[in-house]
Amino acid sequence: MKLFSSNFSIYTLLSLLAYAPTSSFAAPFFRRSGIQDNQPFSVMTLRSGNLYVHFHSLYVGESGSVYLDPYDHVNKSSVFTVSNGHLIHENDFAHLGDSGALVFTSKDEGSAEGFSFGEEIAGGYLLNYKGQGFVACPVKEDSPVYSVYYGQGNGDSNCVGFGSLAGPFSSSSSSASTAPTSAASSNAKVQDVVPTGSSYEKNSGNGPAPIFPNGIRLTNTSSPDSNSGNVYSPVAYQKENDHVNTIFTFDVPQVSDQKCQLHFHIDKNGFPIQVDGSNGVGEFVFYNLSSAANDGTTWANTPNRIAEVGRFNCSSNGCDYTTNITCPGSYKTVSYELSAITDKSYLEYFEEINPLEGLQLTV
Ligand SMILES: *[C@@H]1O[C@H](CO)[C@@H](O)[C@H](O)[C@H]1NC(C)=O
Ligand SMILES: *[C@@H]1O[C@H](CO)[C@@H](O)[C@H](O)[C@H]1NC(C)=O
Ligand SMILES: *[C@@H]1O[C@H](CO)[C@@H](O)[C@H](O)[C@H]1NC(C)=O
Ligand SMILES: *[C@@H]1O[C@H](CO)[C@@H](O)[C@H](O)[C@H]1NC(C)=O
Ligand SMILES: *[C@@H]1O[C@H](CO)[C@@H](O)[C@H](O)[C@H]1NC(C)=O
């Protein structure tokens, strides 16, 4: 089954980001002292290298099983807490079921004990059970929907280990139930999970498939000669003379018609976002660049900006923006720079595939 016609680009992204050494992650920008007992957090899956597993949220289905897609009558990503080593979701406790399947039930008795936070990554912490990560296995053979296990998984040859990046879920996000939710049905397919009520609905139908960035790099006035390496979390801010910008790099496939767009969408369905600005609204701009960024790109040697190609406002609820651009050439590698344009404008989020969060190109 094909998710998008641009699988190649997705895999490029995954292979770049899934195996990036920890040292190349962006330094966490907002400081945290760890996730406390009873503090709500959401989870994003990392490092699997598998399209159906990497960069997904966790969804606790009606049955209590845990999925990496909207499934089993649940279409909203889940929020968890850890209390005395137990993992809790809406007053239900995590148990280990058949083959170590993670299952939530209302029974406290016999629930799994030993959940804790490990390595700090990019502003979050890896959630472990007895010091180990988790395994995702397809719910049935060849299914694009995976569920979560501890240990070896259910024996399917497609089972794959992953890291569970836990990030604090700010209390202001507790209104997330009113935010747009992902489309889903009880037999959700991956194509169904793009957010509804946004421009993606149109695109997921008969529009062109989105191309994901294969490189995300930060430039920083405070460290003008250093390169961030590839990061998961784009950042753009302006604070007096301090700027951090993000450069997104895309491998362009064959450009068949002359309608090309950049799509930027973030909401509260995925890993927590941070957006601020005057009156809570940040103002941002995209530029196209004269050449593509690479591992030598720094603030000091950023390729020249050719032109502004889009401008949008964003708040802590997220934003959804599409701009028509001059089509890049077929099979070219191109970069676009995201920058804040007013003082105090601040934006940070995680580029995710499911739910769809961040910047994509369509050609
Ligand atoms: C998500 O689930 C809720 C509750 O089951 C339902 O009311 C809503 O219509 C669903 N939304 C989508 C987009 O499927
Ligand atoms: C920018 O560089 C400064 C100084 O090295 C550092 O403290 C800050 O965390 C960097 N910002 C980002 C977003 O990486
Ligand atoms: C950059 O954008 C400008 C304005 O839309 C356009 O004229 C130009 O051809 C673009 N250049 C590249 C390399 O994308
Ligand atoms: C962003 O908000 C500012 C302040 O309200 C407004 O002046 C500007 O026109 C808005 N920009 C866009 C692109 O909507
Ligand atoms: C963007 O392109 C679409 C499709 O070609 C077109 O319908 C729309 O009018 C364009 N929008 C703008 C603002 O030029």
Q: What is the pLDDT of residues 211-221, one digit of tens each?
A: 888 889 999 99
Instruction: Give pLDDT tens digits for 233-254.
Output: 899 999 999 999 999 999 888 8
- 193 SS3 class: helix
Atom of ligand 5 nearest to the CA of 324: 1
DSSP, residue by residue, 99-136: GGBEEEES--TT----EEEEEEETTEEEEEETTB-EEE
When pLDDT is cut at 50, 70 and 90, the band that residue 354 belongs to is confident
Give Cα 164 to chain centroid, integer Å: 12
Q: How confident is the model at residue 3 (pLDDT cuts 50, 70, 90)?
A: very low
N residues, the chain? 363
Instruction: Give the model's pLDDT for residue 353.
Output: 78
Whole-number percent of the chain with pLDDT over 90: 58
User: Ligand 4 center to residue 321 CA distance, Å?
Assistant: 13
* Ligand 2 centroid from CA 341, angstroms: 18
Mean residue pLDDT across the chain = 81
pLDDT over 70 at 187, yes or no: no
DSSP states of 3-22 as a string? S-TTHHHHHHHHHHHHT--G
Could you tell me the sign of the dihedral formed by the alpha carbons of 101, 171, 26, 85, in that order? Answer: negative
Q: Quick one: pLDDT at residue 183?
A: 26
Per-residue pLDDT band for 174 (boundaries 50, 70, 90) equals very low
Tell me which of 50-54, 205-209, 256-260, 296-300 is least confident. Answer: 205-209
Place of tokens 């995300």: 216
Q: How confident is the model at residue 35 (pLDDT cuts 50, 70, 90)?
A: confident
Q: What is the pLDDT of residue 327?
A: 96
* Confidence band for 123, pLDDT divided at 50, 70 and 90: low
CATH number given to 34-193 = 2.80.10.50
pLDDT tens for 288-304 read 999 999 989 999 999 99
Pocket test for ligand 1, best of 75, 185, 204 (most atoms within 8 A of CB): 75
Q: Higher confidence at residue 202 or residue 82?
A: 82
Residues β-bridged to residue 110 = none
- Which protein residue's CA is at the shortest distance from atom 1 of ligand 4? 313
Which residue lies with its CA nearest to atom 14 of ligand 1? Answer: 183
Lowest-confidence pick of 66-75, 95-104, 122-131, 191-200:
191-200
pLDDT over 50 at 308, yes or no: yes
For residue 179, give both structure tokens: 């935010």
pLDDT at 207: 65
Q: Is the CB of 335 under 6 A from ligand 3?
A: no
Instruction: Break the chain into its structural domains and give their ranges.
Output: 34-193, 215-362
Question: Which is the closest atom of ligand 4 to the Cα of 278?
Answer: 4
Alpha-carbon span 122 to 312, nearest angstrom: 25
Give residue 102's pLDDT. 98
Whether 153 and 99 have beta carbons less than 8 Å apart is answered as yes
In percent, the amount of the chain with pLDDT more than 70 equals 79
Highest CATH level, class, for 215-362: mainly beta
